[in-house]
Amino acid sequence: MTTTNNSTVAAPANATSWVVDLVLLGALWGASFLFMRIGAAEFGALPTAAVRVAIAALFLLPIALLRGQGPMLAKHWKASCVVGVFNSGMPFALFCFALLTINSGLAAVLNATTPMFGALVAWAWFRERPNGSRLVGLVIGFAGVAMLASRSAGLHAGASGHAALWAVLACLGACLCYGISASATRRHLSGVPALTTATGSQIGATAFLALPAIWLWPAQMPSLRAWLALLALGIACTGVAYILFFRLIERAGPARALTVTFLVPVFALFYGAVFLNESITQWMLTCAVVIVCGVALSTGIVKLGPTRKAAT
């Protein structure tokens, strides 16, 4: 439910519920990088992404049908499927490709640039030109990415700097896809129930990735560990996470929901260090802080300068 500046009556009760959703969502999306790295190591990038969206589609479709959203899904299937290519199919595949070279924590830090790409796409698509502190934030955020890419922190053992560059570009390409999907959803799926959009997008992503995944399916059967990682990735980190995300938008509004971007790298770095023995360097943390500051400014969550007062 959208709130106004004067609606502070129900804040205490609702605040607790949306903060819990926010933390849970950050934990789930942070874990997605862990599971993608485990899955991609045995399945490969495209099959990992394909299995993820297929499981998510199978999880979400019965829920959408039980809630009577079948007619809406049939009506908007073309737009939601196209959005799914940019919202899930391409970015998931790109992140899986990147995770063959870089650590999960580093990929999650780069993922934090998504709101900045969203602002740039909205600028190009809707002529919503960022100004003031938002422009400063874009510069700071991309400077943080350049700093992160300038060193070999977060690489797998034996990975080259050339491979690292392609991995970073893949992550940024995924974030650009997210920005495109956000504007496309706004233009073509405005007013459509969130669950309908989520379900249709996963079906579209599955159709998009199916043939390449079959073509590149590994010759050797992946281990049970890899299958369990993809099961958790599809159900928890995609299906359940979508439900939490759209519920968070409804309860707290888009601006507050956007702050989950700050939590995802924290959880991803923690999971990577604990479960995959990934190293967290001081340089990675410094660059992460720079990127988060850029995101906060570019999205308008934080503004530079004093608040304007009315002239007397």
Residue 275, both tokens: 């479960």
Whether 207 is covered by a domain: the verdict is yes
How far apart CA 196 and CA 69 sit, in angstroms, is: 6
Q: Is the pLDDT of residue 245 over 60?
A: yes
Name the range with the highest mean pLDDT among 91-95, 187-191, 270-274: 91-95
Name the residue with higher pLDDT: 192 or 158.
192
Comparing 68-72, 88-92, 179-183, 237-241, the range with the smallest average pLDDT is: 179-183
Name the residue with higher pLDDT: 196 or 114.
196
Confidence of residue 134 (pLDDT cuts 50, 70, 90): confident
Write down the pLDDT at residue 200.
Answer: 94
pTM: 0.83
Rounded to 5°, the CA angle 282-286-287 comes to: 120
Write down the pLDDT at residue 247.
Answer: 77
Q: Is the pLDDT of residue 102 over 80?
A: yes
Whether 3 is covered by a domain: the verdict is no
Write down the pLDDT at residue 69.
Answer: 94
Q: What domain range is 195 assigned to?
A: 13-298
Comparing 72-86, 203-217, 245-259, 287-301, the range with the smallest average pLDDT is: 245-259
Number of domains in the chain: 1
Percent of the chain topping pLDDT 90: 42
Confidence of residue 7 (pLDDT cuts 50, 70, 90): very low
Whether 286 is covered by a domain: the verdict is yes
One DSSP character per residue, the chain reads ----TT--TTHHHHHHHHHHHHHHHHHHHHHHHHHHHHHHHHH-HHHHHHHHHHHHHHHHHHHHHHTT-HHHHHHTHHHHHHHHIIIIIHHHHHHHHHTTTB-HHHHHHHHTTHHHHHHHHHHHHH-----THHHHHHHHHHHHHHHHHTS-TTBPTT--HHHHHHHHHHHHHHHHHHHHHHHHHHHHSTTS-HHHHHHHHHHHHHHHHHHHHHHT--SSPPPHHHHHHHHHHHIIIIIIHHHHHHHHHHHH-HHHHHTHHHHHHHHHHHHHHHHS-----HHHHHHHHHHHHHHHHHTTSS--SPPP----
Write down the pLDDT at residue 246.
Answer: 76
Write down the pLDDT at residue 261.
Answer: 77
Whether 166 is covered by a domain: the verdict is yes
Whether 84 is covered by a domain: the verdict is yes
Asked whether the beta carbons of 64 and 70 are under 8 A apart, the reply is yes
Confidence of residue 31 (pLDDT cuts 50, 70, 90): very high
Q: What is the mean pLDDT of residues 142-154?
A: 73
Q: Is the pLDDT of residue 235 over 70?
A: yes
Comparing 17-26, 55-64, 67-76, 81-90, the range with the smallest average pLDDT is: 17-26
Whether 307 is covered by a domain: the verdict is no
Rounded to 5°, the CA angle 231-102-296 comes to: 90
Whether 1 is covered by a domain: the verdict is no
Whether 196 is covered by a domain: the verdict is yes
Q: What is the mean pLDDT of residues 155-174?
A: 79
Name the range with the highest mean pLDDT among 44-58, 131-145, 241-255, 258-272: 44-58
Comparing 42-56, 107-121, 122-136, the range with the smallest average pLDDT is: 122-136
Q: What is the mean pLDDT of residues 150-157?
A: 60
Measure the N-to-C terminal CA separation of the chain; round to a whole number of Å: 36
Write down the pLDDT at residue 212.
Answer: 96
Q: Which residue has the tokens 């490709």?
A: 97
In whole angstroms, what separates CA 25 from the centre of its chain? 11
Burial class (CB in 10 A: 0-12, 13-18, 19+), 138: buried
Q: Is the pLDDT of residue 310 over 50?
A: no
Q: Is the pLDDT of residue 13 over 50?
A: no
